[in-house]
Amino acid sequence: MKKLGRLEFFWAILIVITLFNTFLGEQFASTALVSVLVSITVMYKGLVVIDYFMELKHANKNLRWLMRLYFIIFPSMIIATVFF
């Protein structure tokens, strides 16, 4: 059996997180809790995609920071709107 590479590992993690989010949406009645948890996982998934699949981990720091900022600001805005 072939050992999983780094990209395959992160791809599998992204799939597991997506399935976890689907489970949360189906099982829990608290929309606030689900929205916060899904937003946090979307934030993490975005950061993983930026670093490993877009290969910006070693790119220009300004470009990487702007991309990471996108996945920090928008999920944070979703979390903020849940409570208003």
Structure tokens at 3: 């050992």
Q: Cα(62)–Cα(9) distance, rounded to whole angstroms?
A: 27
Structure tokens at 79: 């979390």
Give residue limits of the domains in the chain.
Answer: 29-84
Using pLDDT thresholds of 50, 70 and 90, give the confidence band for residue 32. confident
Supply the DSSP symbol for 59.
Answer: S
Q: Cα(43)–Cα(34) distance, rounded to whole angstroms?
A: 14
Using pLDDT thresholds of 50, 70 and 90, give the confidence band for residue 42. very high
| pLDDT given for residue 2 in this prediction | 64
Supply the DSSP symbol for 49.
Answer: I
Structure tokens at 33: 């809790």
Portion of the chain with pLDDT greater than 70, in percent? 95
